[in-house]
Amino acid sequence: MKNLCLAALVSVSLAALSACADQGGGAGAQKADCAAAAGEVNVYSARHYDTDLALYEDFTCETGIKVNRIEAEADALLERIAAEGEFSPADLFITVDAGRLWRAEEAGGLAPVDSPPLAERIPAALRDPQNRWFGLTTRARIIIYNKAKGAPAGLETYADLAKPEFKGRICMRSSSSVYNIALLASMIAHDGEAKAGEWARGVVANFKRAPQGNDMSNIEAVAAGECDISLVNTYYLARFDTPEKRKVLDAIGVIFPNQGTTGTHVNLSGAGVVKTAPNRENAVKFLEYLSSQSAQQYLANGNNEYPAATGIAPTSAVQALGAFKADTLPVAEIGRNQARAVELYNAAGWN
């Protein structure tokens, strides 16, 4: 099967815990004992964070529902679900990136979920209008600059990055990054293809070097003065909030773009119940659990993201970056424009 190596998929089965009193209930409070066995739920997840394991353990302890997890890249999981068809054991699909949620939705792989707790906790902008998927966490794509060189005058929006005065000052990662693709897809939705393509060409003209590395390495490059400006996700920057890496963080200034207009672009991780789920009721229970306060805090804090549910504060490392107005563009718009965004990047020479 194209792009799919089943041997690379890691299947982890988390049995109901019999010693929760000794281990503490994972993400939740310590429990005297765990619930009796009550079935299972099969999770296909593209989130690769070890901290998520505690959530599965906590859910099993609370409900008795065993969590069976298969991990792989999102595209491989979607391909697997499609190949398995009506016999797929998948109950819940979890991924990072709005476009992949949209692709799962467009392929007809996700089923609507009528859940008052989910509708109450997850804002409308962070869930599918037909409730086929729900956001779990978000991350903002922000501008960073070298603090020693000063805040770049006239840099307040994403569009400003294409101004000629920033020629030779910008470092970026490849346009193949899902984060860059999602950003340009949102710009297409807001401003149209012509302006989005013009922006991509303008930023390419301002590159200090050819696109390379990832957000972490570009943060380090800006801090070291190798270039002055870059675009990164908030959670990558928060990873430098440690005693060992604090020097890098202290050298970086932060701009939340588009605060006077559309708001800063955000991407998300999210989940949806698979249309052919053999354990649909358990999948809904698990999805509702992931939107609970304790689970949201653990999901967000484990990777320095923002909780998708309302009224829950993010980790202190993310809070320290400052408050901001987020773009509320529907995720469907981002997903719909992804293919065109790739074409515009290629046409602009943003490799």
Check whether residue 108 and residue 251 sit in a common domain.
no
3-state secondary structure 145-188: EEHHHCCCCCCCCCHHHHCHHHCCCECCCCCCCHHHHHHHHHHH
Q: Residue 32's pLDDT is what?
A: 58
> Domain for residue 1, yes or no?
no
Report d(CA 54, CA 204) in Å as an integer: 43
What is the predicted pLDDT for the residue at 14? 34
Same domain, yes or no, for 51 and 149? no
Strands 252-255 and 134-146: antiparallel
pLDDT at 31: 56
Q: How many domains does the chain have?
A: 2
Could you say which DSSP state residue 208 is in? S
Residue 218: which CATH number?
Answer: 3.40.190.10
The verdict on residue 152 lying in a domain is: yes
- State the pLDDT at residue 30: 46
Name the residue range of residue 31's domain.
6-138+268-319
pLDDT for residue 283: 98
* 286 shares a domain with 153: no
Q: Do residue 286 and residue 341 come from a single domain?
A: no
Please report, in tens digits, the pLDDT of each residue of the chain (351 residues total). Answer: 333 333 333 333 333 333 333 344 445 444 558 999 999 999 999 987 777 888 899 999 999 999 999 999 999 999 999 999 999 999 999 999 888 898 898 889 999 999 999 999 999 989 999 999 999 999 999 999 999 999 999 999 999 999 999 999 999 999 999 999 999 999 999 999 999 999 999 999 999 999 999 999 999 999 999 999 999 999 999 999 999 999 999 999 999 999 999 999 999 999 999 999 999 999 999 999 999 999 999 888 888 999 999 999 888 888 999 999 999 998 878 989 999 999 999 999 999
pTM for the predicted model, two decimal places: 0.86
Number of H helices, E strands in the chain: 15, 9
Whether residues 107 and 217 share a domain: the answer is: no
Q: Are residues 155 and 86 in the same domain?
A: no
pLDDT at 20: 39
Look at residue 202 and tell me if it is in a domain: yes
Residue 240 lies in a domain: yes
334 and 212 co-located in one domain: yes
Judgement on whether residues 99 and 210 belong to the same structural domain of the protein? no
336 part of a folded domain: yes
What's the confidence (pLDDT) of residue 274? 97
Note whether residue 85 is domain-resident: yes
The Cα-based distances of 219 to 140, 152, 153, 245, 287 in angstroms read 15, 16, 20, 11, 34
Assess whether 245 and 283 both reside in one domain: no
pLDDT at 286: 98
* Tokens read off for 16: 């109901």
CB 140 within 8 A of CB 158: no
* Residue 30 belongs to a domain: yes
pLDDT at residue 229 in the model: 98
The predicted pLDDT at position 48 comes to 78
Answer yes or no: are the C-beta atoms of 82 and 255 closer than 8 Å: no
Domain-embedded: residue 291? yes
| CA separation for the pair 191, 275 (Å, rounded) | 35
Residues 168 and 276 in one domain: no
Helices (H), the chain: 20-23, 52-63, 74-84, 98-106, 116-121, 178-191, 193-205, 215-223, 234-238, 246-250, 280-290, 293-302, 316-319, 331-336, 338-348
> Are 32 and 99 contained in the same domain?
yes
Alpha-carbon separation of residue 307 from 55, 174, 267, 293, 343 (angstroms)? 15, 27, 12, 9, 32
One domain, residues 215 and 309? no
